[in-house]
């Protein structure tokens, strides 16, 4: 059995200042990032009340959103629209 000097003091591997900076950096990196999703869509309707049908489709699409993942559709120029949403949840598996 090896005999050496007796341990009387424990010395930390890193200083308190370095530990504080590391913890701050880790906390900053762990903040969830917002995922923004944008889709350019084209809507056409060949019925008599085409504007009403498109508005109804837009309302139904916006109704699928919730407070965590709101869905918003904007007109670019008929028939082009932009669908926007943002969420913190990157993998959303609904069964």
User: Of 20, 21, 35, 19, which Cα lies nearest the Cα of 68?
Assistant: 35
Angstrom distance (rounded) from CA 42 to CA 8: 75
What are the structural domains, with CATH classification, of the chain?
35-87 (3.30.70.1130)
* 6-32 tens-digit pLDDT: 877 877 788 889 999 999 999 888 888
pTM summary value = 0.59
The arrangement of strands across the sheet holding 35-42 comes to 35-42, 80-87, 71-77
Report cis status (omega within 30 of 0) of the bond before 79: yes
* 52-74 tens-digit pLDDT: 999 999 999 999 999 888 999 99
């Amino acid at each position: 059995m090896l005999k050496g000097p007796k341990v009387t003091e424990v010395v930390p591997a890193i200083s308190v200042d370095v530990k504080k900076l590391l913890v701050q950096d880790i906390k900053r990196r762990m903040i969830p990032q917002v995922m923004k999703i944008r889709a350019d869509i084209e809507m056409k309707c060949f019925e008599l009340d085409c504007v009403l049908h498109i508005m109804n489709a837009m309302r139904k699409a916006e109704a699928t959103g919730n407070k965590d993942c709101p869905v918003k559709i904007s007109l670019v120029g008929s028939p082009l629209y932009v669908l926007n949403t943002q969420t913190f949840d990157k993998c959303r598996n609904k069964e």
